[in-house]
Each structure stands twice: as structure tokens, then as C-alpha cells.
Amino acid sequence: MKNLIIVKHPIASHNLSIMRDKNTGKIDFINALDKISYILAAEAYSSIALETKPVNTPFKKINGVRVRDKIVLLPILRAGLGLTKGFVDLYPEVITSHIGIYRDEESLKPVQYYFRFPKIKDKKDLNVIILDPMIATGGSVIFTIEYLLNMGVKKIRVVSLLAAPEGINAINKRFNKNEKKSIEIITCSLDEKLNQNGYIVPGLGDAGDRMFGT
């Protein structure tokens, strides 16, 4: 599938299996998610822009580098919050924004109820990473991407734990017709399908409910 990166890391696979297990409790579920978030963050950060920075080592002056992009995390509430730890720990300078979207149980369409984003006029070096553990129909992600594009954001990447083919196809159909303006998606697993209720199979249940014990 176009612009889909599936992270095949042994530790990520190990912890994802813990999360899939219906007998895994809340604490172990969150701990496994935290560990995977570091691996996903490393992958997402691997292509951010750098610039030269002079560095004085104990022995000589060299040309080092520093991050040029202004990075904004945009977790989709609630479950997206669970992916933030690795991203913030690896790069504390990151800005964390929030978007609240819930899925209407009947129509399965996204409904926005909250949005907070930093006031950044120059968006040339703005790099936004959308965090959504479960890409099911893709509706919430598509809604969020369109919101950002309308704001003038050009660098957008989506990070998830797992995804359904239906959701990835929907995102590609909507945005990835032009390679120069495509949306990259990073995930740990492309699962089989969506069931009749719009849940990912085999999936791991409702990530938000399992994280927060609701």
C-alpha cells in the first residue's frame, strides 16, 4: 500500500501481542503501549529536517547538527494520548497539541468536540505528527488531515499501533494521489479487516477503554 511503513521491530511485536491479549490488565496494557511508543517515535523522527550547528568538542570544533523542524504532536483524544510518551521523551522540545474526535456509533463518521493548536504563522518548517492508535475506517484521521491542510500545514505524518486495510485505503484514496503531497502512515501492523461494527479484526479491542479502564 502506498506510503505505508510497517515497523517490524521484535520489541514492538512482543508488546503488541501483550496488548492484543484480552486478559492483559490496564497497567500492563499501558506499559506495553509506552514501550512501543519509543519505537514508533524513532521511526517518525528519522526523517525530520536538520540544520548545521557548530559544536566545540573537548578536542576541536566541528559541524554538528540540530533539529530544524518545529514538531507538533497531535494526538486524537482519548487514545492518542497513549502514544505521546516515547515522542516527548526522545525529543522534549516537541509541542503537544490536541484534537478531540469521537466516532458516531450509528454513522461511524467523526464528530469534532475539541481542538487546541499553537499559533505558528510561518508553517514552512512545521512538521505535524498525528497520533491515533487505531486506524479503523480512517474517518478521524482523514478529518484531522483535512483540518491541518486547511490551516496551511504541509508536512503531515500519521502514526498508529495498528490499522485496517479499509482505513489505509480510504486515506490513500483521499490524499495520496499525488506523490509530492502524499501522507505517510507509520504503523506496527496492518490487520485483516473491519467487522460489521467497524472494529479492527483481530485488533485489540477499544484502545481508549483499555487504557483508561472505562
Question: Which CATH number belongs to the domain containing residue 120 in this structure?
Answer: 3.40.50.2020
Domain count, the chain: 1
The pLDDT assigned to 214 comes to 86
Owning domain of residue 205: 4-53+61-212
- Assigned C-alpha cell, 89: 521523551
The pTM assigned to this predicted structure is: 0.92
The answer to whether the CB of 160 falls within 8 A of the CB of 132 is yes
pLDDT digits (tens, 9 = 90+) for 115-148: 999 998 888 889 999 999 999 999 999 999 999 9
Residues in the chain: 214
Q: What is the pLDDT of residue 106?
A: 79
Whole-number pLDDT of residue 108: 66
Q: Residue 105's pLDDT is what? A: 75
pLDDT digits (tens, 9 = 90+) for 69-94: 999 999 999 899 999 999 999 999 99
Q: What would the grid cell of residue 175 be?
A: 490524499
